[in-house]
Amino acid sequence: MTDPIKRNLSESSLLRRIVPGTILLLVFVSCGLFVYYQSYLNNPGPTPLADTKSVIVTIPKGSSVKTIATILDSNNIIRNDLRFLILAKLSGYSTSLQAGEFRLPYGKKPLEILKLLASAKPVSYSITIPEGLTAIQIAKIFAEDDWCEEAKFLQLVHDPEVIKEFGLTGGKTLEGFLFPDTYLFTRDVSGADRVIGILLARFKKVWEEETSGLNPTPDVDKTVILASIVEKETAAPSERPLIAGVFHNRLKRGMRLQSDPTVVYGVENYIGVITKKHLRTPTAYNTYTLPGLPVGPISNPGREAITAVLHPQASSHLYFVSKNDGTHHFSARLSDHNRAVQKYQRK
């Protein structure tokens, strides 16, 4: 029969031999794992063969950290590794990584990349809409770079519910209110409804700024209609207030505006030459046959054209004719205007 005292002493001796060894093994393994983990943290991502410093990376919405790691690895930003997932979790960045399109640098450490994805601004693209374009022309610009579908854009421009929703016009189109400017879009901006919303919001802001302090507040429809005509009549900014003044003078006297651009807007399949037939053909926009303003804007005017209509230059002029150099000759009397036409146009 085994002596219990001797058995206990034997087990105690065995434990004294095993425990230190186990602790030593755990320390060794822990140190190895720590070195293994630190080696990943302290080493930058792979260096691309091409002589480039950065790459644009797209992170789809709803991407998991694992998916993001795969995307970054495929773009040579990091090495896809379980340690990246551990790092994201331990650093707290796993819940704050953004979706979008980002320009990320090569040769950065994994933690630096995580910080960038948590705070970087998405890549933005500059889109310039020149003054005086029509809705059709603006739709083409956005469709060319896949911001929206051209047909959908034009559908919304003429959608009564959309017009009513934005409350900008009593007309049948948003033509005139798609504000021309330089916009910075990120790729999360997509779809005709969002694009149009941004353009209309910019118009509202400009309108509020330009009409602040004016009493009574000018009629937005009439102002934009006339501004759209002023925008198309001249490319010389200094002339806009004077041309606006001419149109104001004519409207006060009950004279027709007789603006060539309004004729062009109302003609289908226009090929670049205005004929007498065009001038005499009644349309909803032809100010040679219409008294007063046309039914709606003929272009999307910029801030300067709107300002010109709100603050026209006072003069006695009732007529103007192109001098074929981008500027116009102005006249107060028809006889003087006819001589100017003979001088600048009939030749």
Strands (E), the chain: 54-59, 100-105, 124-128, 182-186, 319-322, 328-331
pLDDT at 225: 96
Looking at residue 78, its pLDDT comes to: 87
DSSP state for residue 312 in the 8-state scheme? P
Q: Which residue has the higher pLDDT, 44 or 136?
A: 136
pLDDT of residue 27: 58
For the ranges 247-251, 274-278, 317-321, the lowest mean pLDDT is seen at 274-278
Question: What does the pLDDT average to over 199-223?
Answer: 94
Report residue 319 CA to chain centroid gap. Answer: 39
113-131: per-residue pLDDT in tens? Answer: 999 999 989 999 999 999 9
Q: What is the DSSP string of 174-218?
A: -TT-S--SEEEEETT--SHHHHHHHHHHHHHHHHHHHHTT-SSPP
Q: What residues does 321 pair with on adjacent strands?
A: 329
In this structure, of 145-149, 220-224, 267-271, 323-327, the range with the lowest mean pLDDT score is 267-271
Residue owning tokens 């804007």: 297
| Domains delineated in the chain | 54-119 (3.30.1490.480), 128-315 (no CATH)
Tokens of 95: 């819940």
Query: For all residues of the chain together, what is the average pLDDT?
Result: 87
Query: Torsions phi, psi of 294, nearest 5?
Result: -70, 175
What pTM, to 2 d.p., does this model score? 0.82
Share of the chain above pLDDT 90, in %: 60
The band of 82, judged by pLDDT with boundaries at 50, 70 and 90, is: confident
Distance of CA 293 to the CA centre of its chain: 31
**Spatial separation of the C-alpha atoms in residues 258 and 270, rounded to whole Å:** 18
Angle at 215 between CA 211 and CA 221, to 5 degrees: 55
pLDDT at 170 over 80: no
User: HSE on the CB side for 332, CA within 13 Å?
Assistant: 3
Alpha-helical (H) ranges within 123-191 are 135-144, 150-157, 160-166
Task: Tell me the per-residue pLDDT of 256-296, one tens digit each, with 9 for 90 and over.
Answer: 999 999 998 877 777 778 888 888 989 999 999 999 999 99
Q: Which helix (H) or strand (E) holds 16?
A: helix 4-42
pLDDT in tens, 11-49: 566 555 565 656 655 555 555 555 555 666 777 877 776
CA-closest candidate to residue 147, choices 188, 112, 119: 188
